[in-house]
């Protein structure tokens, strides 16, 4: 089982341009499911391709299992990769697709067959062996791609948005399956996605990236509850964290912590805000209220509140209410660097 490490890794595609990957220091743990999360163009796929050996770093080091692999070709790195498009070989049958890496290794025919059957049985696709990729559904293709990746028992698994081509319903079940599957085989996996739900659900740890740089590495709870900067705070969560810029501090709190009268009183130490509700959305399990802060230092700033539908409080559109946030749920960010800072007094 390999641990991947990158040291000061950089990639610049065109000289003079901003780097696609900037000074990335990363260390995965044994058997971990590490998710690279970021918006498109954040450099997560480039980072993955550099680890795979498909892209040459401009500077920096990549280590797999403690061994420097910068100068090794993809085949020498002992990795397997699942592509967003699955990249199944269209002219070969499913069986031949699965044994392709084994054949390239020069494994004897009988052993190849045994390995292919093992991989296919793990994913339940033995019955598809004779089909061509174009005769498969999206979900089946994804399984074949996975089977091809695990068949030679790689030391590291790289996955580049493997679920993004599936429809929403299939994606949810495939996500669960993939997660279970990785736990079962216990191989370290690096998974690229722009979908925060996927990242939170699957990742042992999440690496949040933006503009080529790593903004925060942590467990899903860490990055959600203790965001390192305003980017992480707003990229994760839907609706995103409320950020109220004050004169010398940015105050942030999650919509689900911004609570209506009747609930707010039960909080211990808390801060109250006047909340002018502009409109609300009823989403079944919860209500999302949009509006602006009324009065005080943040007067006129937009804010969002998310409350469970079980709180049967009447909050009509256009009304002015007093909402509150527990002091422990308020995060503070430096307006200059946009990074988290220690607790400060809240401007009145």
Nearer to other proteins, 194 or 254 (CB): 194
Q: How far is the CB of 82 from other proteins (least distance, A)?
A: 9
DSSP conformation class of 228 = S
CA dist., res. 267 & res. 286, Å (int): 20
Nearer to other proteins, 83 or 290 (CB): 83
Nearer to other proteins, 105 or 337 (CB): 105
Instruction: Supply φ then ψ for residue 152, to 5 degrees.
Output: -105, 20
Given a contact cutoff of 8 angstroms between Cβ atoms, the answer to whether 247 and 302 are in contact is: no
* Consecutive H or E run containing 143: helix 138-150
Nearer to other proteins, 18 or 54 (CB): 54
CA dist., res. 323 & res. 298, Å (int): 14
Given a contact cutoff of 8 angstroms between Cβ atoms, the answer to whether 249 and 335 are in contact is: yes
Nearer to other proteins, 80 or 244 (CB): 80
Q: How far is the CB of 100 from other proteins (least distance, A)?
A: 5
CA dist., res. 205 & res. 28, Å (int): 9
Q: How far is the CB of 89 from other proteins (least distance, A)?
A: 6
Q: How far is the CB of 101 from other proteins (least distance, A)?
A: 4
Q: How far is the CB of 217 from other proteins (least distance, A)?
A: 25
Nearer to other proteins, 100 or 298 (CB): 100
Look at residue 238 and give its three-state secondary structure: coil
Secondary structure E strands in 246-330:
250-253, 270-282, 286-294, 302-308, 320-326
Q: How far is the CB of 190 from other proteins (least distance, A)?
A: 13
Q: How far is the CB of 222 from other proteins (least distance, A)?
A: 31
* Consecutive H or E run containing 185: helix 168-185
Q: How far is the CB of 45 from other proteins (least distance, A)?
A: 11
Nearer to other proteins, 60 or 101 (CB): 101
**310 Rama sector, left if φ>0, alpha if ψ -120 to 50, beta otherwise:** alpha
Nearer to other proteins, 49 or 143 (CB): 49
- Residues forming the site for other proteins (CB under 8 A): 49, 52-54, 73-75, 79-81, 83-85, 87, 89-91, 100-101, 104-105, 148, 152
Q: How far is the CB of 51 from other proteins (least distance, A)?
A: 11
Given a contact cutoff of 8 angstroms between Cβ atoms, the answer to whether 195 and 175 are in contact is: no
Nearer to other proteins, 36 or 99 (CB): 99
Given a contact cutoff of 8 angstroms between Cβ atoms, the answer to whether 7 and 31 are in contact is: no
Q: How far is the CB of 107 from other proteins (least distance, A)?
A: 10
Cα 58 to chain centroid, rounded: 25
CA dist., res. 214 & res. 231, Å (int): 11
Nearer to other proteins, 81 or 94 (CB): 81
Q: Is it true that the peptide bond before 239 is cis, omega within 30 degrees of 0? A: yes
Look at residue 153 and give its three-state secondary structure: coil
Tokens (6 digits) for 33: 């499911």
Look at residue 289 and give its three-state secondary structure: strand
């Amino acid at each position: 089982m390999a641990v991947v490490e990158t040291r000061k890794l950089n990639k610049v595609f065109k000289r003079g341009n901003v780097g696609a990957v900037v000074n990335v220091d990363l260390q995965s743990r044994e058997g971990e499911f590490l998710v690279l999360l970021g918006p498109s163009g954040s450099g997560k796929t480039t980072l993955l391709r550099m680890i795979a050996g498909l892209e040459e770093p401009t500077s920096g080091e990549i280590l797999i299992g403690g061994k420097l692999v910068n100068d090794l070709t993809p085949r020498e790195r002992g990795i397997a990769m699942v592509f967003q498009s699955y990249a199944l070989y269209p002219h070969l049958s499913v069986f031949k697709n699965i044994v392709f890496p084994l054949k390239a290794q020069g494994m004897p025919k009988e052993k190849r067959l045994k390995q292919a059957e093992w991989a296919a049985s793990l994913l339940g696709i033995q019955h598809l062996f004779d089909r061509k990729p174009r005769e498969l559904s999206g979900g089946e293709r994804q399984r074949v791609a996975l089977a091809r990746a695990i068949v030679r028992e790689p030391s590291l698994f790289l996955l580049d948005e493997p679920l993004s081509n599936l429809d929403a319903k299939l994606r949810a079940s495939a996500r669960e399956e993939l997660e279970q599957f990785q736990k079962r085989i216990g191989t370290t996996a690096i998974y690229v996605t722009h979908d925060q739900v996927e990242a939170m659900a699957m990742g042992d740890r999440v690496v949040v990236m933006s503009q080529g740089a790593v903004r925060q590495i942590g467990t899903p709870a860490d990055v959600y509850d203790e965001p390192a900067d305003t980017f992480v705070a707003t990229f994760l969560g839907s609706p995103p964290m409320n950020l109220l810029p004050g004169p010398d501090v940015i105050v942030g709190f999650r919509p689900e912590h911004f609570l209506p009268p009747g609930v707010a009183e039960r909080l211990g130490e808390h801060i109250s805000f006047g909340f002018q509700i502009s409109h609300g959305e009823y989403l079944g399990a919860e209500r999302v209220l949009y509006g602006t802060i009324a009065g005080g230092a943040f007067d006129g700033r937009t804010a969002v509140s998310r409350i469970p539908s079980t709180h049967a409080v009447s909050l009509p559109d256009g009304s002015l209410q007093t909402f509150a946030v527990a002091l422990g749920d308020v995060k503070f960010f430096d307006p200059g660097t946009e990074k988290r800072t220690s607790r400060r007094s809240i401007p009145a």
